[in-house]
Amino acid sequence: MPNPTAAMLVIGDELLSGRTRDANMHYLAGELTRAGIDLREVRMISDDAEAIVSAVRALSAAYDHLFTSGGIGPTHDDITAESVARAFDRPIGVREDARAVLAAHYEKSGQDLNEARLRMARIPEGATLIENPISAAPGFSIENVHVMAGVPAIFNAMVASVLPGLSGGAPLLSQSLRIYRGEGDIAGPLGDLAVRYPELSIGCYPFQQDGVFGAHVVIRGADGAQVDAAMQALQSTFAE
Amino acid sequence: MPNPTAAMLVIGDELLSGRTRDANMHYLAGELTRAGIDLREVRMISDDAEAIVSAVRALSAAYDHLFTSGGIGPTHDDITAESVARAFDRPIGVREDARAVLAAHYEKSGQDLNEARLRMARIPEGATLIENPISAAPGFSIENVHVMAGVPAIFNAMVASVLPGLSGGAPLLSQSLRIYRGEGDIAGPLGDLAVRYPELSIGCYPFQQDGVFGAHVVIRGADGAQVDAAMQALQSTFAE
């Protein structure tokens, strides 16, 4: 069975202006790889309703899962929840269980659950809440879309809540080899190897470190015996 | 007049697997903001020809400019150049001026311009080369698409070559010098030079190669005579 596929949609003007550097994409990429889910595409867009609706529709149709990050806070430009509702033609409103979670959280911290904060309890009809152990305001899953916060610590915690429930395919096995040659010298033999093992993914990642240069070659695949065989072939090619 | 719009397409399996963290998106976002160009959307996709072709078509049609990063090296999975050619139905082949740049670079470093490296001289018909002052292999601009390297130092240098031509300014002329000193030794004289030539842009890009380290200093400006004069001053400062 092939691995499930995924896309990520990162929402936020502050990323596109260069003000903030995204951290969530790199984190999610690593977690999905470990879970055996292939992240195929990431899009970053601004807090624009039309852009969110059309990206959610396109990506949720094209991949098995879509993870979103950002735009679910209390301010006027946090429009992810209502845009996702629109993408699936679902009504959205304050949900009692979400409001209760927020009320308990703000009561504990002595803050007011005002109208702005109450926006964070607006959940599209039919969605499942995603727990937020850090600041209470929940994310949600609807259809195959998992809507999460942009703040990295909260995003990471939500990913940890969501991932175990998604059925991973066979985990990808990988082996890597450090080769102290220029990429141009590695390219030929690597191309031959890719032809011999069409089901494996073979990547070449150059490095320069402490005056030494070379590349990490990473071989990935669901079939461990094939990965082993390809790695042995690679090692014998570049044995000193 | 509204600001021109832009999108970025980041190409590379290593980003989607979480192995590598992208640095180019954040850099480009800042540079575009300074240049008055609105970055509206970023997509990250894998080294997959169909995905590249369709993203290039969609993004170059939707925005005034499209910047790509990655997939123009010498290995079999570097397929950006041919995919961009396909997106515009243009033929692609080794171009003489690009081959000459590579030949000169590899002759100087005593390396072989083999078949793998020659792939980096393949340029779609009708494209304009983008200078690579660091490792020679050029990027290119075709229609409204600017195809650049994924290695951050090279990407940054290419952005510096391309941007002035897009924001309506005079095209920048550039000269570069390889200096075999630590950046800390270069910084002082370089700062003095920047004070003497306030209209020039002076960039310093450190490298480590074959156990030797140093920096490429790139001097850019609209006035060729000034660039010449500054380069002569730099050469005489660092003459053995």
> Which domains are assigned to chain B?
5-166 (3.40.980.10), 173-237 (3.30.70.600)
Average pLDDT over residues A191-196: 93
> Which of chain A's residues have a Cβ under 8 Å away from the Cβ of B41?
16, 43-46, 51
Q: Which pairing describes strands B128-130 and A139-142: parallel, antiparallel, or unpaired?
A: unpaired
Chain B residues with CB under 8 Å of A186 CB are: 75
What is the nearest CA distance from B51 to chain A, expressed in angstroms? Answer: 9
Beta bridge partners of B130: B139
Residues 160-219 of A with CB under 8 A from B: 182-188, 190-191, 194, 201-206, 208-213, 218
According to the model, what pLDDT value does residue B3 have? 81
- Interchain contact, B74 vs A187, CB within 8 Å: yes
Subunit contact B116:A29, Cβ cutoff 8 A: no
Residue in B with minimal Cα distance to A176? B19
Residues of B with CB below 8 A from A183's CB? 73-75
Whether the pLDDT of residue A211 is over 80: the answer is no
CB B55 within 8 A of CB B45: yes
Which of B22, B42, B54 would best serve as a mutation to test chain A binding (most A beta carbons within 10 A)?
Answer: B42
Respond yes or no on whether ipTM tops 0.95.
Answer: no
Contact list in A for residue B32 (CB cut-off 8 A) is 18
First-residue to last-residue Cα distance in chain B? 52
pLDDT of the residue at B148: 98
pLDDT at A223: 87
Query: For the segment A129-138, what is each residue's pLDDT rounded down to a tens digit?
Result: 998 878 889 9
pTM of the model as a whole: 0.79
Q: What is the pLDDT of residues A147-190, one digit of tens each?
A: 999 988 889 889 988 887 886 555 567 788 888 888 888 889 99
Q: What is the pLDDT of residues A76-99, one digit of tens each?
A: 888 999 999 999 999 999 999 999
What pLDDT, on the 0 to 100 scale, is given for residue A45? 96
Counting as low any pLDDT under 70, the low residues of chain B are 1, 168-172, 208-211, 240
Residue B208: closest C-alpha in chain A = A211
Residue B172 structure tokens:
């920048």
Torsion of CA A206, A208, A212, A213, to 10 degrees: 20
Q: How far is B21 from chain A (nearest CA, A)?
A: 6
User: From B22, which residue of chain A is nearest by alpha-carbon distance?
Assistant: A26
User: What is the four-CA torsion angle of B196, B200, B206, B211, rounded to 10 degrees?
Assistant: -80
Provide the pLDDT for residue B171. Answer: 54
Q: CA-CA distance, A188 to A102, in Å (whole number)?
A: 59
Q: Higher confidence at residue A67 or residue A106?
A: A67
Are A66 and A32 within 8 A, CB to CB?
no
pLDDT at A212 over 90: no
The mean predicted confidence, pLDDT, of chain A is: 89
A29 to chain B, any CB pair closer than 8 A? The answer is yes
Does residue B16 belong to the interface with chain A, where contact is any CB pair within 8 Å?
A: yes
pLDDT of amino acid B172: 61
What part of B 121-150 touches A (C-beta under 8 Å)?
A: none
Q: A175 in helix, strand or coil?
A: strand
Q: Long-range contacts: A134-142, Cβ < 8 Å, 24+?
A: A135/A105, A136/A101, A136/A102, A136/A104, A136/A105, A136/A106, A137/A72, A137/A73, A137/A74, A137/A101, A137/A102, A137/A105, A138/A98, A138/A101, A139/A72, A140/A81, A142/A84, A142/A85, A142/A88, A142/A90
Q: How confident is the model at residue A240 (pLDDT cuts 50, 70, 90)?
A: low
Answer whether B116 sits within 8 Å of A46, measured CB to CB. no
Nearest CA-CA distance, residue B97 and chain A, Å: 20
- H or E element at residue A220: strand A212-221
Residues of B in contact with A41 (CB under 8 A): 16, 43-45, 51
Biggest alpha carbon distance in chain B? Answer: 52
Whether B211 sits inside 8 A of A206 (CB atoms) is no
- In the block, tokens 């390889």 appear at B178
